[in-house]
Structure 1
Amino acid sequence: MFINAFIRRSINICALSCLVATAATAQEPGGQVIGSFGEQPLELAISPDLSAATIIGSYADAFLSGVQTADDQETAFVSLMLSGELPDPAELSLEIAFAQDMGANWRGDGESLALELAEFSATDGIVSLSGTITGEVSGGPDSETRPVTLSFDALLEQVN
């Protein structure tokens, strides 16, 4: 009887530990950006160290950066900034850079891009941010314009 109670207690402690660990890792900053830039597919991991958000009432600022790697080398970098009253922030900027074309960045803003926010909320110091950006960015080595579609799903550290 003692062994049976001991085993049940051990199983309960193990199950509780797993639940606590899952809850803790579920709110870690990070996420990903998936989409396309012209004909090129992009899949980037959001860098928690270079991303953060602030929410004051219905006003929000958010900045997220994503890095695509291949063969342990960074190949693409995307940064997205949005700012303004939720649910439709007035300011939006997107920058895309590629490691092989240093200095040939691609940029877009609220005039050439459309933002559709699916979520922008804060809980326990973590901001959940998800949505889609569609439109065009300009730049590159030949100062041309290319279509871009990016979907993002991020957990960002909330800062004051």
Structure 2
Amino acid sequence: MSIFSTMYRAGAPLLIALLALPALADEPGGLVTGSFGDQPLELTVAPELSGATVIGNYADVSLLAAQMEGDLGPVNLELVINGELPAPSEVALTITFARDMGRNWSGDQDSLTLTLDEFTPGDGIVALKGTLTGQVSGGPASETRPVTFSFDTRLDELD
């Protein structure tokens, strides 16, 4: 057996794995990272509960992300974007803390600023990347807290 055939056999699985990477990158999902007040959060997008509908420049996006571990317990974040791009008329953010039912927080286009870095539909997937900053209100004492979230996601394009 020559050294080249050994290298070929050893490298074949690596080559197959590398060729599969673009296919994995096309799968729905992604991350939302940022902070709620002074608490850092890193949430994983739930692809089966997120999606986007695009008609021309009009977009209707619903994104649900969750963080299951950490001091805050299970945390859900829901982001809704609706309207003509690049400046949609509706932006809504809801953050829910599962351990404390009174700790729900929300904000909308009046208290949040959305910056879209990428919104690219194609082949049944919508690439969505951007930043959301501003304030949310709620909690047990009806407080206001600052939020900053960056998202890098791929969503199913819905009919």
TM-score exceeds 0.5: yes
Structure 1 gaps, min length 5: none
Distance 1:6 1:151, change over 3 A: same
Moved more, 53-62 or 94-103: 94-103
Please tell me the root mean square deviation across aligned C-alpha atoms, in Å.
2.2
Which residue does 2:106 correspond to in 1?
A: 107
Deviation at 1:144, TM superposition (A): 0.8
Amino acid at match of 1:107: S
Secondary structure at the counterpart of residue 42 of structure 1: strand
**Partner residue, 2:25:** 26
Please, what TM-score do these two structures have when normalized by structure 2?
0.88
The number of residue pairs the alignment matches comes to 158
Identify the range of structure 1 (62-71 vs 79-88) with the bigger mean alpha-carbon deviation. 62-71
Unaligned runs of 5+ in 2: none
Query: How far is 1:10 from its partner?
Result: 6.2
Indicate how the Cα distance of structure 1 residues 70 and 14 shifts in structure 2: closer, same or farther if over 3 A, else same: closer
| CA distance in 1 between partners of 2:18 and 2:102 (Å) | 46
Matched residue SS, 2:99: helix
Query: Which string of whole-angstrom CA distances, capped at 9 and with x for unpartnered residues, describes residues 35-75 of structure 1?
Result: 1111111111111111001111111111111101217x952
2:35 counterpart letter in structure 1: S
Paired amino acid for 2:136: V
Indicate the residue corresponding to 1:143 in structure 2.
Answer: 142
Cα-to-partner distance string for 1:77-107 (whole Å, 9 max, x where unaligned):
1000001111111100000011221143100
Residue type of the alignment partner of 1:33: V
Query: In 2, distance between residues paired with 1:135 and 1:81?
Result: 15
Which deviates more, 98-107 or 127-136?
98-107
Range 84-93 or range 96-105, more displaced? 96-105
Relative to structure 1, is the Cα distance of residues 115 and 7 closer, same or farther in structure 2, using a 3 angstrom cutoff? same
Contact 2:114 2:130 in 1 (8 A): yes
Written as runs of structure 1 = structure 2, the 5 A alignment for 1:78-157 is: 78-157=77-156
Amino acid at match of 2:90: E
Secondary structure of 1:100's counterpart equals coil
> What CA distance in whole angstroms lies between the structure 2 residues aligned with 1:40 and 1:13?
45
C-alpha contact (below 8 Å) 1:67/1:74 kept by paired residues = no
Runs of 4+ in 1 over 6 A off after TM superposition: 3-13
Is the contact between residue 73 and residue 99 of structure 2 (CA under 8 Å) also seen in structure 1? Answer: no
Cα 1:67–1:107 change in 2 (3 A) is: same
